A and B are shown apart, each in its own frame.
Chain A
Amino acid sequence: MAKHWRTFFAASLMFVCAGCTHTQGPAPAVAALKPTGFGSVLIESSGSKQIGPTGMVLAQPLVVQVNDEQGAAVTGALVEFSGPAEVSFDPASGLTDSSGQLSTNVALGGMAARYQLTARTLAKTQKPIDLKIEEIALGYQEQLGFQLDNKYCARCHSSESSAERVSNYDNLAVKPHPFAEGDTLNKMTDAELTSIISHGGPALNKSALMPPYGYTLSKSEIDALIAYIRLISDPPYRASGMVYAKP
């Protein structure tokens, strides 16, 4: 009889406790890499300042290079990549190859934002050497804006020229503003941008070389374009108006 009571009591205790437990997954084990070389400078070789959709692998790998004091490439230096919680690197760390380089595929997080990533290598003195890298992730809306930019705007607004799409920037009597030109575009309100895109340059007393797109693009397309322009702007755009306390 006594046994029964105790079992029942214990069972009910466990039942109460089960409601409060939070299960935690095991931490992934990382195989330790032994560096065979140490550098003093970490430089970015390619793959920074890319623009890609949220959560997806960037089109180009991120390549960094470790050099020594003389500027010669260091083989076998350990480089570790890190970033905000949702950013993933494949591989997250590794040893530099014979040209002193390590390449990683970066998948950005789920939030449309600028992502500050860090590459770190250790000097011989175990002092960490950091390299800051920035990539931009586009959400659905910004991605749509990016595609619209590619189709309608970039021919004039970007001076980048390729065989597939020759830039018209240099041919224009009045130079358009590149979309990343934050110094100019950040001062314009969303309403002003909507107005100049919809009604053309003359709407803001600017050049008629900017044609109106209000009868070609939908309202949501123009919003998408503005969301994209705001995100890629350099220096970054801060919406005026409400000021938030830090959470």
Chain B
Amino acid sequence: MIETYKYPDTDGKFGEFGGTYVAESLIATLEELKEAYKNAQEDPEFKREFDYLMKEYVGRENPLYYAERLTEKLGGAKIYLKREDLNHTGAHKINNAIGQGLLTKYMGKTKVIAETGAGQHGVATATIAALLGLECKVFMGAKDAARQELNVFRMELLGAEVITVDQGTATLKDAVNEAMRYWVQHMEDTHYVIGSALGPHPFPQIVRDFQSIISKEAKAQILDKEGRLPDKVVACIGGGSNAMGMFFNFIEDKDVELIGVEAAGNGIDSGKVAAAINRGSVGIAHGAKMHMLQDDNGQLQGTHSISAGLDYPGIGPEHSFLFDTKRASYEYASDKEALKAFQELSRTEGIIPALESSHALAYVMKIAPELPEDEIIVVSLSGRGDKDVEMVKAELEAGKND
């Protein structure tokens, strides 16, 4: 069992996972980033600025809300929601974007690039670019850009340039590749704001650290409200930044069960999933060793999830490690279950959750009724569902016609 948790190690590894699997051309920039991040961590001025923006701009701390009506309806464990959906821009993504935006300035760079799937991280990066006066380009798969037209406009409104990517499957993984290619040619003045706890070292660590404010707050809040730690902490997982943020400050509390919920798409055995741990194997892509969906020849596979934010074939290397060491377990929820949870929370609590977060909620709704009333579950409500209402409407109408 993990007593004191000190990862990544000096080689950027979480056990066997993570690392720096990148072209030699990127090494110098990653070294620069490592150095800058180390200095920033020790710089009280950097911390002060981050804390200031978290409070005044993002609106933290956000509540740990006791979902009393949902708890009563399910008739089991007490359910608390960590309200990342109340952040400025509507999701946890902004925590990391602000941290990396400040880091960009700290390194004396003037431009940022980002990849985005659904557009949430793109919007968050465009937002901080506007705030901090940075030039911003966002890479987005052509397919994603077509199905998230409004988010493309939102980014443009914020002053960012959206570059659509036709290569490969024209989705998130290809946007990552293209952002990497662009970065290698523009490293001198450009920082790549990776949006999830993924990629080569030190990115998984940086993203986790900036997101760990979620569990730092949640831990203090639950101790304040309940006088004890929760029994279970639950978060949805795509690349895994909200889950890493939600887990991090509980890792050493070994009695707290950590549960990630992957996207089971059309059903966990349908072949149309985005469940890297439940249906993938260990491989190397996008700079790190991690679990990922791949075929018999080591080619990354296409994914499916109703939630664009979970629609990625890999999972952050630290999750691979937490899984491997059995510190966290990884469950799943299907599109249908997520849709049901989406509606359920809307009706019982008046909170419309993001489809991503709905996966975590679906799992909680499944287990809570079986658990005793004195059990406590904290679930990360990673984002709000306004962005998803059109999609949900279409899905529900299609469902009626089935």
Q: Do A and B actually bind?
A: no
Instruction: Tell me the A residues contacting B by CB distance below 8 Å.
Output: none
Instruction: Tell me the B residues contacting A by CB distance below 8 Å.
Output: none
